[in-house]
Structure 1
Amino acid sequence: MSLAEIARRFGTPAYVVDEDAVRLRCRDYRAALPASTVAYAGKAFLTQAMASWVAEEGLSLDVCSGGELALARSVGFPLDRIIFHGNAKTPAELREAVGVGRVVIDNVAEIHRLAALVPVGQRQDVYLRVTPGVEAGAHAAIRTGSEGQKFGIPLAELSDAVARVLSQPELRLAGLHCHIGSQITSVSPFEAAARVMVDQLAMVRDRYATVLPELDLGGGHGVAYLDDEHGLDLGQFAAAVPKVVAERCRALRLPVPRLVFEPGRAIVAAAGVTLYRVISVKRQGGRTFVAVDGGMSDNPRPALYGARYAVSVPGRSGAPVTIVGRHCEAGDVIAEGVPAGDARPGDLVVVRVTGAYHHAMGSSYNLTCRPPVVAVSGGAARLIVRREEPSELLRREVGR
């Protein structure tokens, strides 16, 4: 089924995700890193269908809220393959997290709170999230590995945190975790973080006579949004990072831990497109503005990070135009310099590489209803998340 046919059948705006491409990418990661655990980062894009695909392909899943965990439970995702994240987990979320495969402790206060919730006779496996002092990422808002960020435990405080976890019989320290940023397209920052983290494993062994069996190096694997960009090379990454870990462990006479990686964007971004219809074409101030029936409510990333996308108006060409959204914000710009000077109302607009952080970050700003999600597999299309209706927005109101 073509994109034009999908737009006619399901309307616009709409997210379209290629199930076959998602599954293939999951298999690529498993094949590249066969001795490691690959946990899909659900914050990138999570629906019941997506959670099911990930489970069926043998990946683990990381979640960062009670809602994401509830969705995973709703499809029977194996609890022992779930990693629960969050820098400010609520008491309710900590209660719900007990029993998952790993809980990532982000601050020392969580240690005692979580331990108090573990039923008598049980133990909860945990990681300690470390701030390794390695900064990487395409935008300051998504660099999470340096001090001065809200995430993780600074290196200077890690030893104390380890002692606190080890003093709690309800907890088992399974390993350390770090996440240095997002949309990283070079291997070198991951290599640097790996060396720092192995050194911390050695510190735990030396000070506490405890060998931790796992090391989670997080995600942040970048993708190409434009034709002249490149993403993180999975083959190069898989050849380099485990080797760095093994070499550093050998130098420190430390057993090599099982590695865990958490790609999200790299699994799903390229599998998605967003479809719009042109509503109006306006020429003023020497520019041509092509306005569509969606915008920052279904894709806030251009306004938040200055993200850029490859955008086309099939069948149109000519002078460059600016594709803008329908919202009452001057910053509601989807793309600039799109060659579609002859665009007309009703034309289809296709935005590529929108599988990650679109549906997940979508909102009802201006009380605009959220788009549906359409899955495509084997040439057939089906609805996996229905379009939000105004009645659903009003249902939340409690009256005057």
Structure 2
Amino acid sequence: MAAKLFSPFRLRGIELKNRIVVSPMCEYSSQDGFANDWHLVHLGSRAVGGASLIIFEATGVSPEARITPDDLGIWKDEHIEGLKRITSFLEAHGSVSGIQLAHAGRKASTYSPWTGEGAVPENLGWQTVAPSAIPFSDTYPLPVALDQEGIQKVIDDFRTATQRSLAAGFKVIEIHAAHGYLLHQFCSPLSNQRTDEYGGSYENRIRLLLEVTEAVREVLPADLPLFVRISATDWTEGGWTLEDSIALANILKTKGVDLIDASTGGNVPQAKIPVGPGYQVEFAERIKQEAGIPTGAVGIITNAQQAEAILENNQADLIFMAREFLRDPYFPLHAAQDLGVDVEWPVQYQRAKRVK
């Protein structure tokens, strides 16, 4: 029997050639949000390596949506050309291009990991926003609680970013509602202490995510898929839970969302997360089974046999990989050999293909 990891998977009008997805990975290598040669080589090598879907890193829908001053952006038309150069290359090498649209909220205006910690100086940073004026930690900026005008701007920014993404050649849109960024901040009672229609009850806390989803789906063609990345749990008492996530997935399914990318954590710094191989797979499985929606599994998935087992056990539909792709841009080609599957190699590399 052929390995399920290398079976095709269709979502709306897009067919993926296998189940291996390059998960969004912040590269902190942009100036003023522009994509450059680093992004071309970083992402292009994963297309040459055989990934079916490559999702670009968390991309700011506005300047203030960036995590750091070095983040990729899509808040102005000038960003389109550089992104299109990369999506065209990926498509030419058999990969579908996806983009993760993001707003960092209270976790914005901070240093890139290798340049410093916490908030950047005023001359480099900007005023952060959040559902409530609660900083992520003592070293992070104090955010301003969004008013109605600010909330509407967020919705409009996601809509416009989707339109620019289509012009840049993206075929999959992923809304980032995980890891303690703005949309997750609204969903979780740990970060949302509002008393208006965007706070308090579960229905109110998920309202902004639903409105963003509706705005994105409104301008996204019917034949192109929409993903939402969520943190399925805050790993903290009194926070967002798996049961909340299952209920959310059931609602998102009715809003035209095609897949839940199930990650966890990131909203509070003191969370105790039991990190280990496949530690988040159970969340993708529960959401898939109880909400009846395709899911992507992510989190320390590092080898072909592990990925194949997840699919064979019907725990998820796609395998999202990040760090393993940093170690091995050609993971799909090597995984195929490990599983005894004959896949097409780039003609330039065929003389290196092992023959068994």
Normalising by the smaller structure, the TM-score range is 0.3 to 0.5
Question: So what's the TM-score if we normalise by structure 2?
Answer: 0.39
Larger radius of gyration: 1
Question: So what's the TM-score if we normalise by structure 1?
Answer: 0.35
More strand by share: 1
Which structure carries more relative contact order (alpha carbon 8 Å, separation 6+)? 1
